[in-house]
């Protein structure tokens, strides 16, 4: 995941990725810890910082890079871009570009599970900006009167979790699933820290210092914490871990090369996936040809 997001940063700067792009590096423990505690029958829905969640839910690197570059082999056929990844067969329902839009959809997914008496749950993910509806490019202490987000559920209990510790996230999500099935909703506040800015147009250094970012990297980085734990308990050697890093770098590079060979969508694809068959066009009071004719 880390190599994928760093590569996406480079591809964006090379103008191979256009439009919006929101990176996740630094926050990998949330996606990985959550996935290790649940199954693919559980649902996950999130906002536009979605690349790593998609990968966790069974997506491939080729699908990631193809989608980012607007190619047909992308998970949304190159039509969604960075903000609209999707993998229903993996229980992943997006990738949503509108701040907070995924929350009511997540409630709907959960209600469907409850209605069908499925022994599964939905994790609806959102950030501090969505919690406040005002947070982009603003320090947390300035954008929130009450930054204890896990206490905001009124009648729904909450837990604050170290979102940079993959094992803590795993245990919290395991508990949350059990609680939700027996007692109802639970709020988890994952205290995590991304290294990039909000998006590629945000340097991420106006509302926090470079020393702060560097300090988090040195003291709380989720990958380094696992590395130290693995080495301390003689689970792997330094060489084995370096080999894993090399393999990940190679896998990312190969996926990028294949994604670059993927075809771009045909211009006619602009008119597909707009309406559900049998709906929408009739509601417009026009036939499909008339609708096409009015589009630029």
pLDDT in tens, 114-145: 999 999 999 999 998 899 887 777 777 888 88
What CA–CA distance (Å, rounded) separates 13 from 1?
Answer: 19
- Give the residue numbers spanning the domain of 124: 2-264
**Does residue 295 share a domain with residue 183?**
no
**Does residue 207 share a domain with residue 279?**
no
What CA–CA distance (Å, rounded) separates 67 from 227?
Answer: 31
Q: What is the pLDDT of residue 72?
A: 96
**Does residue 246 share a domain with residue 220?**
yes
**Does residue 292 share a domain with residue 219?**
no
Q: pTM of the entire structure?
A: 0.90
**Does residue 137 share a domain with residue 33?**
yes
Q: What is the pLDDT of residue 203?
A: 86
Q: Which tokens in the block code for residue 1?
A: 């995941």
**Does residue 281 share a domain with residue 221?**
no
The full 3-state SS of 40-86, as one line of letters, equals CCCEEECCCCCHHHHHHCCCCHHHHHHHHCCCCCCCCCCCCCCCCCC
Q: Which residue has the tokens 């499909």?
A: 288
Are 17 and 68 spatial neighbours (Cβ–Cβ below 8 Å)? yes
Q: Number of structural domains, the chain?
A: 2
**Does residue 294 share a domain with residue 198?**
no
Consecutive 10-residue runs of the chain (296 residues): their mean pLDDT? 97 96 97 98 97 98 98 96 96 95 97 97 94 78 87 93 98 98 97 93 86 95 97 97 97 98 93 76 47 43
**Does residue 277 share a domain with residue 176?**
no
Q: What is the pLDDT of residue 284?
A: 47
Q: What is the pLDDT of residue 264?
A: 95
What CA–CA distance (Å, rounded) separates 37 from 8?
Answer: 28
**Does residue 179 share a domain with residue 282?**
no
CATH of the domain at 20: 3.40.50.970
Are 167 and 222 spatial neighbours (Cβ–Cβ below 8 Å)? no
**Does residue 212 share a domain with residue 281?**
no
**Does residue 126 share a domain with residue 92?**
yes
Q: What is the pLDDT of residue 134?
A: 72
Q: Which residue has the tokens 């590629």?
A: 200
**Does residue 247 share a domain with residue 270?**
no
């Amino acid at each position: 995941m880390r190599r994928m997001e760093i590569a996406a940063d480079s591809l964006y700067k090379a103008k191979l990725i256009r439009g919006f792009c929101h990176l996740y590096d630094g926050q990998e423990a949330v996606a990985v810890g959550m996935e290790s505690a649940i199954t693919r029958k559980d649902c996950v829905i999130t906002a536009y910082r979605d690349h790593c969640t998609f990968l966790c839910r069974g997506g491939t690197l080729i699908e990631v890079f193809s989608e980012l570059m607007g190619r047909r082999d992308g998970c949304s056929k190159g039509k969604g871009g960075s903000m609209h990844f999707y993998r229903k067969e993996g229980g992943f329902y997006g990738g949503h570009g509108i701040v907070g839009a995924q929350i009511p959809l997540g409630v709907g997914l959960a209600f469907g599970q409850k209605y069908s008496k499925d022994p599964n749950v939905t994790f609806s993910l959102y950030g501090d900006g969505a919690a406040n509806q005002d947070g982009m490019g603003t320090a947390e202490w300035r954008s929130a009167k009450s930054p204890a987000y896990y206490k905001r559920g009124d009648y729904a209990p909450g837990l604050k979790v170290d979102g940079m510790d993959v094992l803590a996230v795993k245990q919290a999500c395991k508990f949350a699933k059990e609680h939700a099935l027996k007692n109802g909703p639970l709020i988890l506040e994952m205290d995590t820290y991304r290294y990039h800015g909000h998006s590629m147009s945000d340097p991420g250094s106006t509302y926090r210092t470079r020393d702060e970012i560097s300090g988090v990297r040195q003291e709380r980085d989720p990958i380094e914490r696992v590395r130290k734990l693995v080495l301390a308990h003689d689970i792997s050697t330094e060489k084995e871990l370096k080999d894993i890093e090399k393999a990940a770098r190679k896998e990312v590079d190969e996926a990028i090369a294949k994604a670059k060979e993927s075809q771009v969508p045909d211009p006619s694809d602009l008119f597909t996936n707009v309406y559900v068959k049998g709906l929408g066009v009739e509601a417009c009071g026009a036939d499909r040809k008339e609708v096409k004719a009015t589009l630029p």
